[in-house]
Amino acid sequence: MLEFLKKIDRRVIYLCIALSVIIPMLVGVEFPVPTSPMTDQVYEAFNNLEPGSTVIISADYDAGSQAEIQPMTLAILKYCFENNIKVIVLGLWPLGANLVENALYNDKVKISPDRAKALIAEGKKVFVISKDTASCEMTIEERDGKFVYVDEREEGKDGEECLAFSPEDSYYVKGVINAIDREVKPGIDYLNTGYKAGQVVVITQMLEDVVGALETDISGEPIKDMEIVKGLKTINDIDLIFSLSSGTPGAKEWVVYANGKKNVPVACGVTAVSATEFLPYLNSGQLSGMLAGLAGAAEFETATGYDQGKATEGMSPQSFAHLVIILFIVVGNIIFLLEKKKS
């Protein structure tokens, strides 16, 4: 047995790890995700905001860290819009603001069957991914008092109406804005100002003149007359800054300047590998909370009661993969000890 374990091909290990990711995704296994103290701090920072408060979301990341950061973006935006918190977005990284724009309008946001029915009643477009139709995405419609989707893709079912809301189906809308039960208006409820070149210079300018530093929205329109910035002068008029950060410039610069110089509350969402770098700021109280990687995003979804989120969905495959890796590490150490004893 010992000789067999020693000679396991590395490709077998790769296959086991691949299966540990694929099988939970196909079966739909979910692990409960308890919250950590630093995630609770982020939740409290947002929960303590009054309706009508203004939050800056600084998109300081790019496509390379999208897998970890984008679920945070979706969860944060959803919570803000549901609680009538105004959101101003800027990007210190070239792609950041565009990724937030995708979250607003294009990214899939999974919803419950009851929520799907309510949105359909409001006239919003809801999509279904059905196991009965080879996982094709289709739009749900209400016809003659029944919720149906038309399967036009699978051979043999062209144009056939299929009843929606079977237990195996998954439902989603495109964009956070379409998942909210009220109308969310640009320039009033949120503002995406796009990429702002200058890195730290942008932050220092915002300390004294937020509107002047941001100047235009993502499409190049001046923002000075928009309702969302009325009464907004210095950074002290902002109730919370949340940096979605995967490097420099990012959360550290916001802590140093916005919190260090003006005492504005700053929280952040960072990649898991960089989380330890921010623990000193968290322990000193300069950071009002931190979401660390996909796990942090899933914890925030748990804290806000959003059990359909992308992060929660992604935690099961990740957890199974970690268990398999741990198993191989344990087996490897057992083999090492047995060989040592034998010699």
Q: How far is CA 159 from the centre of its chain?
A: 36
Q: Average pLDDT, whole number, for the chain?
A: 88
pLDDT digits (tens, 9 = 90+) for 73-130: 999 999 999 999 999 999 999 999 999 999 999 998 888 888 888 888 887 888 887 6
The β-bridge partners of 146 are 143
Instruction: Write down the pLDDT at residue 78.
Output: 94
How many percent of the chain have pLDDT more than 90? 56
Pairing of strands 137-143, 127-129: antiparallel
Tokens representing residue 93 in the block: 């990284």
Peptide bond into 113 cis (omega under 30): no
> CA separation (Å) from 255 to 85, 127, 149, 241, 312?
22, 40, 49, 9, 28
Indicate whether 275 pLDDT > 80: yes
The pLDDT-based confidence of 309 (bands split at 50, 70, 90) is confident
Tell whether domain 37-104+178-307 is in CATH 3.40.50: yes
Indicate whether 253 pLDDT > 90: yes
pTM: 0.84
> CA separation (Å) from 260 to 77, 157, 256, 274, 317?
26, 63, 5, 21, 39
Cα–Cα distance for residue pair 341/78, rounded to 1 Å: 57
What is the average pLDDT across 293-305? Answer: 92
Task: Supply the DSSP symbol for 263.
Answer: -
pLDDT digits (tens, 9 = 90+) for 42-54: 999 999 999 999 9
Q: Domain residue spans in the chain?
A: 37-104+178-307, 111-174
Cα–Cα distance for residue pair 196/201, rounded to 1 Å: 10
Tokens representing residue 75 in the block: 């969860």
Indicate whether 134 pLDDT > 70: no
CB 196 within 8 A of CB 90: yes
How many alpha carbons lie under 13 Å from residue 176 in its C-beta half-sphere?
28
Tokens representing residue 168 in the block: 């195996």
Is the pLDDT higher at 261 or at 163? 261
Q: Which residue type is seen at 194?
A: G
pLDDT digits (tens, 9 = 90+) for 158-215: 556 777 777 777 888 899 998 888 889 999 999 999 999 999 999 999 999 999 999 9
What is the average pLDDT across 251-265? Answer: 96
The SS3 call for residue 86 is strand
Query: Can you state the angle between helices 310-342 and 66-82, rounded to 10 degrees?
Result: 140
The pLDDT-based confidence of 156 (bands split at 50, 70, 90) is very low
What is the average pLDDT across 292-312? Answer: 87
The pLDDT-based confidence of 152 (bands split at 50, 70, 90) is low
Q: How far is CA 202 from the centre of its chain?
A: 25
